[in-house]
Amino acid sequence: MKITALNGFKDIVPGEVELWQKVETAARDIFSRFNFSEIRMPILEKTELFARSIGETTDIVEKEMYTFIDKQITMRPEATASLLRAYIQHGLHVQKPVQRLFTIGPMFRHERPQMGRLRQFHQMDVEVIGAQNPRVDAELMAMGAMLLEELGVTVSLELNSLGCPACRPGFRKTLLDFIEDRYEALCDDCKRRSNTNPLRVLDCKNPSCRAQVVEAPSIQEHLCQECSDHFAVVQKGLQQLGVSYSLNKFMVRGLDYYTRTTFEFITGDLGAQAAVGAGGRYDGLIEQLGGPKVPGIGFALGMERLVLLLQQKKGAETVQGEMDLFVAGLGETASHFVFPLVHALRRKGLQVAMDHEGRSLKSQMKQANKAGAHYVLIVGEAELEQGQAVLRNMDDQKQTDIEIGTGIDKLSQSLLEICKPLDKFSDILTKRI
RNA sequence: GUGGGUGUAGCUCAGCUGGUGGUAGCACCUGGUUGUGGCCCAGGAGGUCGUGGGUUCAAGUCCCAUCACUCACCCCA
């Protein structure tokens, strides 16, 4: 019986992993432009952490977490809770009034997999802790938009405010009254939702529910003065930064801790999984987890979804590797000579490969070609005797003789000089992706 | 947890109303070139037809079960 990866768990193989590297590299670049620092947390946490932050009655906590029940530990289903735990544990608020942190890594949820949704999935998570100013909300969204733009994926930004503990309960009541009048017209899921999480009724996909809900009261019109002012400045900030967005009064968040600003980067190209990234403000959460009374805001980008979008773009051919030099030794004597030479060249910084299987020159040339070698050094019995080898430029097919009787150090030095000027490796690689 | 679709070579897939698994494409290996890549040509290797039962003289094909994958619902990045 063949052993395969678990359902919902995926290998990222060569040819695909380059896209992931591209996404990560772009993200690290942008995050550092915005003065964020990386933080890495463990994947396992005490179950209680997630129950307290995400919400005891959310689907995630109730049925989607990978938990070792006997040990009361859980594989993180999202990053924010762990990151805040680390922030509190290390007293990072004392070091700086405002912490700008990001983390990249795997998350785990036991859901049924589908396009863009796996059981182990990867997020890039960004959090600003200690900043109250609504301009920071706008700045964060602008950063997300900038990253997505640089990656070349087209998304739209949708924005809403969920209010705060002062005004949300009032709206909730208003909404419940509205739903009450139409209860019988709603689908079974929405009937259930109206008890558990009435806001969820607003973004039901069922067309008849949508029709019912069109006239629903908008939370944006029921915000308290502070929340309303905050929301206005967020929008003003987005306009200042030239970030286009649209208001969506139906947008709701799945996690309990969100307050005020919430937003999603949406695409139409991923089937049912429209959100490429999403986040919002969580002003009470840090205190609730036993930390200082500071506000926070953040968002997460789904890496699988980003990679899928990149793959969908035209000309998304698999990335071809490159190397500086392939050394072809013909026969046992030549291979014996070449073996330490390859090592010496690698030590000097060249990307070098050789064949160890005693294959024909033709076969080795094929290997070199496939590997994207720019040069091939051919060392045969005849060359060895004459103290010479042939250096072939694979790009223009020109061959030159090169002295090899002078010792490996000198030989590798001259090869280094020939091969290195061509080393625009990283630029070329970046462009090809 | 609920529903639909699909399982044939490493990958993409043919295989009609049951009658010996495809000269299919890509990829791989070897040769055409006594020591020279890409293109072309020739050859080669690669399969318990997802698995287990059943019907039948005969099952990749029909039936049942099971597993896996996949899309959607729920939920969510």
The pLDDT of residue A204 is 82
**pLDDT digit string, tens, across residues A373-423:** 999 999 998 888 888 899 999 988 999 998 887 777 888 888 888 887 654
Q: Write down which residues 152-191 in A have CB closer than 7 A to strand B.
A: 189
* Bases in strand B with any atom closer than 7 Å to a protein CB: 1-3, 28-33, 35-38, 48, 68-77
CB A67 within 8 A of CB A49: no
The pLDDT of residue A127 is 97
Rg, C-alpha atoms of chain A? 28
Point out the nucleotide closest to A255 (alpha carbon to C1′): B76
Point out the nucleotide closest to A113 (alpha carbon to C1′): B70
CA distance A138 to A161: 13
Place of tokens 């733009």: A149
Q: What is the ipTM metric for this complex? A: 0.84
CA distance A21 to A178: 48
Give the mean model confidence (pLDDT) for residues A287-309: 94
Secondary structure of residue A201 in the 3-state scheme:
helix
Residue A93 has pLDDT above 80, yes or no: yes
A395 touches strand B (CB under 7 A): yes
**Strand ranges (DSSP E) for A380-420?**
388-393, 399-403
Q: Locate all alpha helices (DSSP H) within A38-167, ordered by sequence.
A: 47-54, 59, 80-89, 92-95, 134-151
pLDDT mean across residues, chain A: 88
Here the tokens at position A14 are 């060569």
A204 touches strand B (CB under 7 A): yes
Q: Write down which residues 216-255 in A have CB closer than 7 A to strand B.
A: 252-255
Q: Write down which residues 20-79 in A have CB closer than 7 A to strand B.
A: 58-60, 64, 78
Q: Locate all alpha helices (DSSP H) within A3-65, ordered by sequence.
A: 17-33, 47-54, 59
CB A374 within 8 A of CB A419: yes
Domains of chain A, first to last = 17-167+223-312 (3.30.930.10), 323-432 (3.40.50.800)
Place of tokens 């990249």: A104
